[in-house]
Amino acid sequence: MMADSVNLADLNHDGKLTTNDFLIFLKAFGSCKGSASYNPAADYDADGCVTFKDYQAFLQFFNAK
């Protein structure tokens, strides 16, 4: 990944794709707006819930390193 590029799987914004990003996604998985564990950065399709579709998107971004 180039230094000036942004990877949407970098959920903690540290410039690296690690298991920490995956753990952040897992914490949000299954949550919806209004839930304490909802993370809009993990809601890739912006439908208000972090679902399997978002997981598939996360994996695509994460594996694009």
Q: Which sequence spans correspond to the domains of the chain?
A: 19-63
The 8-class DSSP code of residue 4 comes to: T
What pLDDT is stored for residue 6 in this prediction? 84
What pLDDT is stored for residue 50 in this prediction? 98
Contact at 8 Å (CB) between 49 and 43? Answer: yes
What is the rounded distance in angstroms from the CA atom of residue 48 to the CA atom of residue 40?
A: 8
Q: Residues in the chain with pLDDT < 50? A: 1-3
User: What distance lies between CA 55 and its chain's CA centroid?
Assistant: 8
Tell me the pTM: 0.89
